[in-house]
Chain A
């Protein structure tokens, strides 16, 4: 009896408990596992556990040739597959000092931007679904389908394209490409208003996102949060603007910066970015120069010994590719600086003290793609 009385009295109010969100959970968008410490409904801290879809892409790259590596980069951030390919292609071209035809840079830029729109559309779908509005999912996918159709027509695949090769493209674009892209832009400019009607202007959505999960500019810089998530905090990190590649220096577009850094701002960044991407495409689509779609390359690509780095603006942030070459046809070491990994690292910091529902909204606004985190 005495022992029972002397048991330490736990304050139930302050007791934390843990739940596993994932690896199988609807809001983690893949096999991410978040161990969340909760006090009632309030998130005290969380630990992301990565590695459920780790395939060792960086290690696999070490025994693959450069054209083969392109196919692996598709599988990292599968929603911006073209942009990932672009990074590796540009790295090889820079190392070999190959001059790519102008037609190629134009087409690559247009397709990168189409890919960015498609990626943001899918983000919008899943963000709507995270917020509990299931209808968003179908509206977004309906429009994404149009872009995938354009991709399919030109180079046969819809998700993992591997369209770029070092020095150019796999094949030339379809004769209808320009016509279809213009038709899509016209279509999507109308449809994006639906997005605003359905979700952006919704009072419930605004209440749930404004002032939630605030990421300051300092934190964004120190955690390395790039892409729309970083720009929402006012961190000017658009690689397209500051280290232009492709033909971005010839086009006019705004780098939109937020001020508040909350979930709503991150949401609005992507909505604005879709409009900006359409603007870029509109400037380029009529001016694709004639010419060859591929530069002359050697049959076996060997990079001269040394270190190379190339970065691009992927749909979710800055993707860096770092290669150490010893002069062979495959890299000695390869490292990807994936945007999602850095973006995920901030999740614990900004979601402390908010509710479970907020955690889901913040996760949706950071827009992580799990295969890119684990690689």
Chain B
């Protein structure tokens, strides 16, 4: 077996070969799928818990507080303790609520984000599935979450929930456009929708540097619209606690609330990973064309470190924005998208197409 932290392809192939050698083909696939499912699930839960902890610490430092510091070293196990609390809490059922939809909603939200994580490349050869339409798949799947939010708002039989869900629906449908268009800008530059190919394409320079100003504009637009799409930061109108108490998840308790909570953080992680992969080179180390020695040193840093470093940096920016800005109003939110971001995006795509056509990019 040939294992290296720089390339997981051989490791994966070795497991694949081992299973197919020792089991019938059907069972080998079943076992493989189970392993991948479990690994992704575990990863999902761990990252979710870590992000909740990270947000609490980041926001505490921004607010002159200490944050969780009692459970475990630096309060590291606080979120795990919270998870157990949520697991043991009673699930309250509301009178006149649509029981079926009410129960399904949190699962739809969490499945949407769970599916999106499968396409993300964490390192060379370390992804669950490598589509040739990877970006399209992620956009499609991650926007499924809005169905869950709408169902939650509708089935709760609560006016606050309903207002929150309607806001969220309008918001996500609008900002989905900007997310897609800003990614298309980079697809034009990369010439592919496959995540692994996009990352490989950045071997001699990340797209944010290669793509001149349009790539940078696309990144800013993506950051804004993805923050809105994940219902976070200044765009958290769906759960605006000072207006709608808790918005669409007002009536949820216990582990179902935790699902919404976890899904929110995982959506943030997915969005940050896509930004890191598409704009900042994913797991690709920082390379400067022509500087062989420098590039060689950068190659020694494992891809996972690069990947998580970039992702968490973008997550940190999103947290920074959230804990600094007040919330927008619904009409201002839609104005921002339809009057500013969308035209900027469309012009940006044209400029990018022109640059690629003329071969002006690096």
A residues with a Cβ closer than 8 A to B are 17, 19, 25-27, 41, 128-135, 137-139, 142, 198-199, 202, 204-205, 207-208, 355-358, 360
A355 touches which of B160, B234, B323, B331 (Cβ 8 Å): B331
Binary interface encoding of chain B residues 302-346 relative to chain A, with 1 for a CB under 8 A from any of its CBs, else 0: 000000000000000000000111111111100000000000000
Q: What is the bound-complex CA distance between A358 and B327, given in angstroms?
A: 11
17 A-B pairs within 8 Å (CB atoms) are namely A41-B163, A131-B242, A132-B240, A132-B242, A133-B324, A135-B324, A138-B64, A142-B64, A199-B326, A208-B326, A208-B332, A355-B330, A355-B331, A356-B243, A357-B237, A357-B243, A357-B330
Q: Is the CB of B242 within 8 A of A130?
A: yes
Q: Chain B contacts of A130 at CB under 8 A?
A: 242
Q: Is the CB of B242 within 8 A of A360?
A: yes
* 3 pairs of A and B residues whose beta carbons are closest in the complex: A132-B327, A131-B326, A138-B63
B residues with a Cβ closer than 8 A to A are 59, 62-65, 159-160, 163, 167, 234, 236-237, 240-245, 323-332
Given A41-B330, A357-B329, A358-B329, the answer on whether A134 and B243 have CB atoms closer than 8 Å is no
Given A131-B326, A199-B326, A360-B242, the answer on whether A204 and B163 have CB atoms closer than 8 Å is no
Q: Chain B contacts of A19 at CB under 8 A?
A: 159-160
Q: Chain B contacts of A138 at CB under 8 A?
A: 63-65
Q: Is the CB of B329 within 8 A of A133?
A: no
Q: Output the least CB separation between A19 and chain B (Å).
A: 5
Q: Output the least CB separation between A341 and chain B (Å).
A: 23
Given A135-B324, A360-B242, the answer on whether A355 and B159 have CB atoms closer than 8 Å is no
Number of interchain pairs (Cβ within 8 Å): 77
Q: Chain A contacts of B62 at CB under 8 A?
A: 135
Q: What is the bound-complex CA distance between A205 and B65, given in angstroms?
A: 24
Q: Output the least CB separation between B215 and chain A (Å).
A: 25
Q: Is the CB of B326 within 8 A of A128?
A: yes
Residue of A nearest to B322 (CB): A134
Q: Output the least CB separation between B350 and chain A (Å).
A: 28
Q: Chain B contacts of A137 at CB under 8 A?
A: 63
New A-B contacts (17) at CB < 8 Å, excluding given A204-B325, A357-B330: A26-B241, A27-B243, A41-B167, A41-B330, A130-B242, A131-B327, A132-B240, A132-B242, A133-B327, A135-B324, A202-B325, A202-B326, A355-B330, A355-B331, A357-B243, A357-B327, A360-B242
Q: Output the least CB separation between A207 and chain B (Å).
A: 6
Q: Chain A contacts of B331 at CB under 8 A?
A: 355
Q: Chain B contacts of A132 at CB under 8 A?
A: 234, 236, 240, 242, 325-327
Residue of B nearest to A206 (CB): B326
Q: Output the least CB separation between B165 and chain A (Å).
A: 13
Residue of A nearest to B330 (CB): A41
B163 touches which of A26, A208, A356 (Cβ 8 Å): A356
Q: What is the bound-complex CA distance between A142 and B326, given in angstroms?
A: 19
Q: Is the CB of B328 within 8 A of A208?
A: yes
Residue of B nearest to A198 (CB): B324
Q: Output the least CB separation between B327 and chain A (Å).
A: 3
Q: Output the least CB separation between A114 and chain B (Å).
A: 22
B323 touches which of A25, A134, A360 (Cβ 8 Å): A134
Residue of A nearest to B324 (CB): A135
Q: What is the bound-complex CA distance between A199 and B326, given in angstroms?
A: 8
Q: Output the least CB separation between A142 and chain B (Å).
A: 5
Q: Chain A contacts of B167 at CB under 8 A?
A: 41
Q: What is the bound-complex CA distance between A202 and B329, given in angstroms?
A: 14
Q: Is the CB of A204 within 8 A of B245?
A: no
Q: Which of B243, B245, B323 has the most CB of A within 10 A?
A: B243
Q: What is the bound-complex CA distance between A373 and B242, given in angstroms?
A: 21
Q: Is the CB of B242 within 8 A of A17?
A: no
Q: What is the bound-complex CA distance between A139 and B242, given in angstroms?
A: 18
Given A138-B65, A139-B64, A356-B163, the answer on whether A204 and B326 have CB atoms closer than 8 Å is yes
Q: Chain A contacts of B160 at CB under 8 A?
A: 19
Q: Chain A contacts of B325 at CB under 8 A?
A: 132-133, 202, 204
Q: Is the CB of B64 within 8 A of A26?
A: no
Q: Output the least CB separation between A166 and chain B (Å).
A: 41
A26 touches which of B59, B237, B242 (Cβ 8 Å): B242
Q: Which of A131, A132, A204 has the most CB of B within 10 A?
A: A132
Q: Chain B contacts of A139 at CB under 8 A?
A: 63-64
Q: Chain B contacts of A199 at CB under 8 A?
A: 326
Q: Is the CB of A129 within 8 A of B242?
A: yes
Q: Is the CB of A204 within 8 A of B324?
A: no
Q: Is the CB of B243 within 8 A of A135?
A: no
Q: What is the bound-complex CA distance between A346 and B339, given in angstroms?
A: 34
Q: Is the CB of A204 within 8 A of B328?
A: yes
Residue of B nearest to A128 (CB): B326
Q: What is the bound-complex CA distance between A370 and B42, given in angstroms?
A: 48
Q: What is the bound-complex CA distance between A112 and B201, given in angstroms?
A: 67
Residue of B nearest to A27 (CB): B242
Q: Is the CB of B64 within 8 A of A208?
A: no
Q: What is the bound-complex CA distance between A184 and B327, given in angstroms?
A: 31
Given A134-B63, A142-B64, A208-B329, the answer on whether A26 and B324 have CB atoms closer than 8 Å is no
Q: Output the least CB separation between A21 and chain B (Å).
A: 9
Q: Is the CB of B242 within 8 A of A135?
A: no
